[in-house]
Amino acid sequence: MRTAWLGRALAVRAPLVMGILNITPDSFSDGGRFLDPEKAVAQARAMIADGADIIDVGAESTRPYGGAMPVDADDERRRLEPVLARVCALGLPVSIDTMKAVVARWALARGAAMVNDVWGLQRDPAMAEVVAAQGCPVVIMHNRDSADPALDIVVEMESFFARSLAIAERAGIARDRIVLDPGIGFGKTPEQSLQAIGRLDRLGALGLPLLLGASRKRFIDKVSPAPPDRRLGGSIAAHLLGVLNGAAIVRVHDVAETVQALKVAAAIRGCA
């Protein structure tokens, strides 16, 4: 079965490390670095060698701080075409990071094993049907069009996920195919992103695996000012605390360093 790997992997070794492969000119941290197909495939190979469990491939920037240029489905597929099947052939599960159902369907037909939807099935009305028809895992991410500092962000996420899970149920998506993502930075103030990580265990009450993507995000800069490529320490700190609070998957740019940190943390906990 296409999706059987997810449950087995989570049972065997959680947390899993999802490596980020952005085939975009304008992603906030590494935009333009992997537009060339050869560089993109080489980066995927490097992340696999560094210990990634999943490769998350995206061809449209969804950076949460504005300024990204919208990409239509044809352009998104054009960027993916020379890369996606080659990355899938490397043997690791590949997630397609897209908010468009037509792109998700296209990518799944070319070997992708999972859909990562930054709008949690609530933006494209056809997305849930595509996921249900393919029987694939889906990451349902919390998002908002704008941040509201007055919100209790965890209560807001719980309400959002209730709506997404209702959509998934109506479409026939099995619960054991669903992963929830708090969407760090998306529609949140830096303070709310910190709160979301610190209170991640509240979302664990929903009984579904949690994915945390805090890599190089702006909230780190608010705590300890640094440009995106100098936020490794903050990223690792956030992911380690997220794992302690229940994250089963971490989505990262820096795979080798994250894998090492998780192994050391697990070894220390095993000796306690």
CB 101 within 8 A of CB 129: yes
Prediction pTM value: 0.92
> Contact, 35 vs 23, CB < 8 A?
yes
Is 251 an annotated catalytic residue? Answer: yes
Q: Exposed (0-12), middle (13-18) or buried (19+): which is 79, by Cβ within 10 Å? A: buried
DSSP structural state of residue 115:
E
Point out the catalytic residue in the list 79, 105, 144, 217. Answer: 217
Pairing of strands 210-212, 247-252: parallel
State what percent of residues in the chain have pLDDT above 70: 90
pLDDT at 70: 76
Is 269 among the catalytic positions? no
CB 245 within 8 A of CB 197: yes
Average pLDDT over residues 208-236: 97
* Domain limits, the chain: 4-271
In this structure, which amino acid lies at residue 29?
S
Taking the CA atoms of 247, 159, 20 and 220 in sequence, report the sign of the dihedral they define.
negative
User: How high is the pLDDT of residue 1?
Assistant: 26
- Any idea what DSSP says for residue 119? T
Radius of gyration of the chain (CA): 17
Average pLDDT over residues 80-84: 96
Mean pLDDT of 52-56: 96
Give per-residue pLDDT as tens, 123-169: 999 999 999 999 999 999 999 999 999 999 999 999 999 999 999 99
SS (H, E, C) 199-240: CHHHHHHHCCCEEECCCCCHHHHHHCCCCHHHCHHHHHHHHH
Cβ atoms of 254 and 9 closer than 8 Å: no
More confident residue, 220 or 27: 220
**Do residues 154 and 193 lie in contact, with contact meaning Cβ atoms separated by under 8 Å?**
no
Question: Rounded to 5 degrees, what are φ and ψ at 31?
Answer: -55, 130
**At residue 26, does pLDDT exceed 60?**
no
- For 4-271, which CATH class? alpha beta
What per-residue confidence (pLDDT) applies to 48?
97
Q: What is the pLDDT of residues 244-268, one digit of tens each?
A: 999 999 999 999 999 999 999 999 9
Catalytic residue, chosen from 77, 100, 188, 251, is: 251
CB-count exposure of residue 272 (10 Å: 0-12, 13-18, 19+): exposed
Burial class (CB in 10 A: 0-12, 13-18, 19+), 104: buried
Could you tell me if 224 and 25 are in contact, meaning their C-beta atoms sit under 8 angstroms apart?
no
List CB contacts of 8: < 8 A, sequence separation 6 or more: none
Mean predicted lDDT score pLDDT of the chain = 91
